[in-house]
Amino acid sequence: MDARVENAMNYAAGDAFASVGAGWEKPMQVTVENVVRTFGVTPALHDVSLDIHPGELVALLGPSGSGKTTLLRILAGLDIPNSGRVLFDREDALKLTVQQRNVGLVFQNYALFRHMTVGENIGFGLRVRPRSRRPSRKEIRRRALELLDLVQLSGLEKRYPSQLSGGQRQRVAFARALAIEPRVLLLDEPFGALDAKVRRDLRRWLREIHDKTGHTTVFVTHDQEEALELADRVVVMSQGKIEQIGTPDEIYDRPNSPFVFSFIGESSRLPVRIEGRKVWLGDVPLDLAPGDVADGPAQLFFRPDDVEIADDVTGAIPGVVSALRRHAGWRRADLDVGTDGDRIEIEIPAERELKLGAKIGVRPRRYRLYAGA
């Protein structure tokens, strides 16, 4: 990371940790109304509206450039929208400084002060408060040790960040954000710099911490598995707009657009057409109900594990096995479908035998149809 960017993040973190407000704050309602943000002629957020309930853990999920980090920075006070409103409870947050918002920030690169011990890092936001609201040294130390115990790092208060693992540093960053008893906790790709196993462990840990503390929490991620595992609700973003908001089950099982279906989980897509209340793949009628999709071109989406091999290929998707590979306790097969080079992926039990070049038919057990080519 560029040193100037890292320094800017540290200063921003320091501002947040110097926030006003003493005592435990109740969970806060966060409301975003019609927010627009552009950078020159480049749009970053298009008329974004969102309600985050008190004590809720919400994931902002999307690919790079979707606007999720810009939205988080606006919530933190590190960026200002061109138009729209942000309310903390019923207060206009855009009129508040970073300090007055009393938010806890956790960054991907930890943003720890390298010249301070773990204990000093955690207590930093309390030590820089104005004297009239600054806890005693004894109280700051007590709170730092209490938080170290909460994040399961007891006994490490005298170590420096360079003496910790990546996962331990991120736990310290969480403890430092919690030390000021924030009204809302904002996390920007908090596990992005960690390896897969540490990420999984910290995801479970973060959910436990959230359930214990009850903070209103917003975290940015591009990792769909992370969002689905952690969040109460997921906000899927693309090109500066919100595509869908829902629980993990709603987002995964009932995606409302081709983008959400293809971005969340694994999927196969086939171009089809609806005609005479039937679904057609080329000149093959499929045993699928078109639902409320009108006649015309459409897209058929389904998950690799939501199909079955048809004993009777009539009405099934016909394909030729072009690749086989083991996938944990299952087997993955690529099927070439039709004459336009379309290919789908299916998942079957490992004991099911298939041969390269075999002609088979498959039927989706669950699927979604979307109008349009």
The ranges assigned to domains in the chain are 3-258, 267-371
Rounded to two decimals, what is the model's pTM?
A: 0.85
| 113 residue type, one letter | F
Higher pLDDT, 32 or 109: 32
**The predicted structure's pLDDT at residue 110:** 64
How is residue 66 written in tokens? 């979707």
The winner for highest mean pLDDT among 70-74, 105-109, 116-120 is: 70-74
**The predicted structure's pLDDT at residue 8:** 37
For CA atoms 41, 47, 48, 53, the dihedral sign is positive
Q: Candidates 2.40.50.140, 3.40.190.10, 3.40.50.10420, 3.30.465.10; correct CATH number of 267-371?
A: 2.40.50.140
Q: Return the residue matching tokens 């988080």.
A: 72
Which of helix, strand or coil describes residue 167? Answer: helix
CA dist 90 and 38 (Å) reads: 26
pLDDT tens across 288-297, in order? 999 999 999 9
pLDDT tens across 112-156, in order? 888 999 998 988 888 887 787 788 888 888 888 888 888 888 989
Which CATH topology does 3-258 take?
Answer: Rossmann fold (3.40.50)
- Provide the percentage of residues in the chain whose pLDDT is more than 90: 56
**The predicted structure's pLDDT at residue 23:** 41
**Domains 3-258 and 267-371 agree in fold:** no
CA dist 232 and 58 (Å) reads: 6
The greatest distance separating any two alpha carbons of the chain, rounded to the nearest whole angstrom, comes to 79
Mean pLDDT of 45-57: 96
> For residue 145, what is the DSSP state?
H
CA dist 42 and 315 (Å) reads: 47
Residue 269, pLDDT > 80, answer yes
Least confident interval from 67-76, 146-155, 224-233: 146-155
Mean pLDDT of 336-359: 88
No. of H helices and E strands in the chain?
Answer: 10, 20
Q: Which residues contact 78 (CB under 8 A, 6 or more apart)?
A: 12, 98
- Provide the percentage of residues in the chain whose pLDDT is more than 70: 92
pLDDT tens across 150-179, in order? 888 898 989 999 999 888 888 898 888 888
